[in-house]
Chain A
Amino acid sequence: MNHLSFIAAAYGLTLVVVLVFAIGAWRRGVAAQRRLAALDPRNATTMPGDAA
């Protein structure tokens, strides 16, 4: 495979950026859900005005 270093750098960079965003979003969601459950255990995933 020619130009292997350029190809590896392009795929590696893409993977790193995507992983940073995906893991960041997942960790932020878990932290928010945990905090919300601690503050308001009954309605951790519901909002005011949310019709049944």
Chain B
Amino acid sequence: MSNTNTFGPAGLNLHRFANPGRFLRLSGAVLPWLAVSGVVITAIGLGWGLFLAPADWQQGDAVRIMYVHVPAAWLASLGYVMLACASLASLVWRHPLADLAAAEIGPVGAGITAICLATGSLWGKPMWGAWWVWDARMTSVLVLFFLYLGHIALVRAFDDQQRGYRAAAILALVGVVNLPIIKFSVEWWNTLHQPASITLSGAPSMAPALLWPLLVSAIGFNLGFAAVVVARLRAAVMERRIRALLLARARNDLQNA
């Protein structure tokens, strides 16, 4: 009989990492490395893009906004995938760490999506002559932002926290339908937004001098995002422990009174 559990074969036993105590120990060791590498790699990517990468022949220096806008856009979608995975784990396995992870990813994802929208607007004004247009890509990213806000609101909307987590998890899973719309919006509809310059299936249509700082910046953004989410999750796990200890202490006091 093969040795498997709910999270896969024994060699990939992810469930044991979801134990809150083990998570605190592991994350305590990993977090400083994540944070330092996130800051250093992001600084290298942004410095490279801002000072060393060439200006675009059409857009001039405004193309440098790409080094914050595109990593934020990729991360906004990736963060939502993580939110949906945590929500699925919460609904299917009812694991308390999955609830907390989803609750902590939501605000950070909303922040990143806000950066994506704001920097897109700051890029659009000099290039298109408008801060905002209701084209398919921008509107679908705005919907993603509202999905994040809806998730944050639902987590906090119920007196019974478990009901809040469950309702928010359902919203997060329903909202996954928006991700392919964001990805393919520039192909399905006629939009002002340019099509993807980097795809998994083909060679990038961007000069390497522009592409490399973008990729470095994107790696840095991802590491920074992971560091902030892990730090928030550590705090949330400890806060839950504090509430449990205070509750136990109050029960003891009540029994002794």
Contact = CB atoms under 8 A, between A and B. Distances in A.
B61 A25 contact: no
Interface in B175-208: none
Interface residues of B, number: 44
Contact of B232 (A10, A20, A25, A40): A25
A31 B245 CA distance: 16
A46 B21 contact: yes
A50 B122 contact: no
Contacts of A14: 68, 72, 115, 119
B22 interface: yes
Interface in A1-52: 1-4, 6-7, 9-11, 13-14, 17-18, 20-22, 25-26, 28-29, 31-33, 35-36, 39-40, 45-51
Contacts, number: 111
A21 B111 contact: yes
A7 B21 contact: no
Contact of A7 (B62, B228, B231, B249): B62
Interface SS of chain A: helix
Contacts of A49: 19, 21
Given A25-B235, A50-B21, A6 B111 contact: no
Nearest to B19: A50
Interface of A: 1-4, 6-7, 9-11, 13-14, 17-18, 20-22, 25-26, 28-29, 31-33, 35-36, 39-40, 45-51
12 contacts: A6-B62, A7-B61, A11-B46, A13-B122, A21-B107, A28-B232, A32-B234, A36-B242, A39-B242, A45-B21, A45-B24, A46-B24
